[in-house]
Amino acid sequence: MSGQKHGRAVRLILDIGVFAFGSLLVKVIQFLLLPFYTSFMAPEEYGTAELVFNFSQLLMPVATLSVASGVFRYAADNVDRKKLLSSGLFVVLIGEILVSLGTVVLNNIKPIEYIGFFSVLLLGEALKMMLGSITRGFGHSKRFAMGGPIDVLTLSLSNIVLIGYLGLGVKGYLYSLVVSNYTTSLYYLLASQLYRYVRLSAVDKKMLVALIVFSVPMMFNSIVWWFVNMSGRYIILWRGGEALAGCYIAASKLPAIINMAATIFQQAWQFSTAKEVESETRDQFFSDVFRYFTYFVLVVSTIVVAVCPQLADLMLKKEFRSIGNLLPILFTVGLLNCFSSFFGTFYNAFKRNTMIMVSTLSGAVVSVGLAFWFNQFWGPMGVAIGTATGFVVIVAMRVADTQLRFVKLTYQLKPLLSLLVLYVMQVVLQTCGYTAAAWVLCVVQLTIVFVAERRTIVRIPQIVRSRLAARRGRAS
């Protein structure tokens, strides 16, 4: 049994390593792009471009029924590949036709600036998600991981030419997204030879029904999730204008430091949970993963919050710097998002997605309501606090529900509660400008983690040495 547990852990670690390679490069380049945007684009331009892209993201789950999530889940079950991919792409094609017709009709009724980008962006993003999901579902982890660097490198080069050199502003930003989406889609199609599985005759009614039944709850979840994440930007746009919204959006990009850690883990974690749901020892395995995941994201979060002022100076240029005091709260939103994603994975693994939608809807109501209300008194700070509160609701509901219905996680309560309380105190102090005190609490949290996991930490060099020795032995 211990060998089985060891094998599962090794598989998860190997998957994390593969996804880390791609994701780290992606996030580093995305970080370098933020000061590029804030240097070459005015807040109004950046705000407009992002809001257009964000709205296309709202349309995508409606148009595609979030079928990519179903394609990934069923790919892990080794179903007929031609039926799976052809049926999924059929749903995307129908959705794209409807959106294209809708944009033409709307534009004829009342011309809307940049409306032509919606259907083009939607199809590119939908294809990228669909082909990437099935590549990962087929177990082609390395090919999937390479898609991220290809996507962001294409985006970067397009940005340099279209925004930096040609000065196209909003249109340059949107054209760059179009180029990167279609380039990455083409890469997935060719790298995994997915074109072999695309046949109109392979579209299967039973497969369509299975995909839609699984994916529709995810569609509603994606829509509601959009309101949790994006509605604050439109509230600020409504009350403060495009410039303030642009500054808020730029600041909202920085929590990607925390989300990067979670995304790397999440991509591997989704695959592991899908494979381990029938295991007799799944509770212990999931508990161990949860413990290490929690300590990891909390360590990253406390360090990032401690260096918030330096990050703001480095990444936010000119007028964008005025909103840097929101970063500690926005990083907290990123941390909560990590936990919501961790527990949300269980719903996909067990193919019971209704509650994931209910929890997200509850969080959205709280988030939008409080953001709208608090914005009247505290401006963008109120929006950030409302968003964070909505995420607290989502995490609380998912923790309670998954513990009740799916898994029984065991964990050390005292160190976890201590870390959470200290982290909240650190965020408050950093928001109020007490950076030295925030650093003290950061050191205290790191000490708690080291004491709680000292046996595991001191064994890491030994494990690495043994792995390297074993690899050298096989090579010889």
Residue 311 in domain: yes
**CA separation for the pair 225, 218 (Å, rounded):** 10
**CA separation for the pair 212, 398 (Å, rounded):** 23
Residue 405 in domain: yes
pLDDT score recorded for residue 185: 94
Residue-range definition of the domain harbouring residue 272? 2-411
Residue 351 in domain: yes
Residue 118 in domain: yes
Residue 442 in domain: no
The answer to whether residues 35 and 314 touch, using CB atoms and an 8 Å cutoff, is yes
**CA separation for the pair 129, 202 (Å, rounded):** 20
Helices (H), 163-255: 169-191, 205-240, 242-253
C-alpha distances (whole Å) from 72 to each of 9, 13, 55, 79, 270 are 21, 20, 24, 11, 10
Whole-model pTM?
0.69
Residue 423 in domain: no
pLDDT in tens, the chain (476 residues): 444 444 455 555 555 555 555 556 666 677 678 788 888 888 888 888 888 888 888 888 888 988 888 888 788 777 888 999 999 999 999 988 998 898 888 888 877 778 888 889 989 999 998 998 888 878 787 788 788 889 888 999 999 999 998 989 889 999 999 999 999 999 999 998 999 999 988 999 999 998 888 888 778 777 877 777 777 878 887 777 777 777 777 777 777 666 666 666 665 555 555 555 555 666 777 777 788 788 888 888 999 899 988 887 777 766 667 777 888 998 898 889 888 888 877 776 666 667 777 888 888 899 989 998 998 888 889 989 999 999 999 999 988 888 777 777 776 677 788 888 999 999 999 998 899 999 999 999 999 888 877 666 665 555 545 544 554 554 44
Residue 237 in domain: yes
Residue 453 in domain: no
**CA separation for the pair 394, 378 (Å, rounded):** 23
**CA separation for the pair 326, 467 (Å, rounded):** 43
**CA separation for the pair 266, 340 (Å, rounded):** 11
Give the total number of structural domains in the chain.
1
pLDDT score recorded for residue 5: 47
The answer to whether residues 73 and 351 touch, using CB atoms and an 8 Å cutoff, is yes
For the chain, state the CA radius of gyration: 22
**CA separation for the pair 396, 409 (Å, rounded):** 14
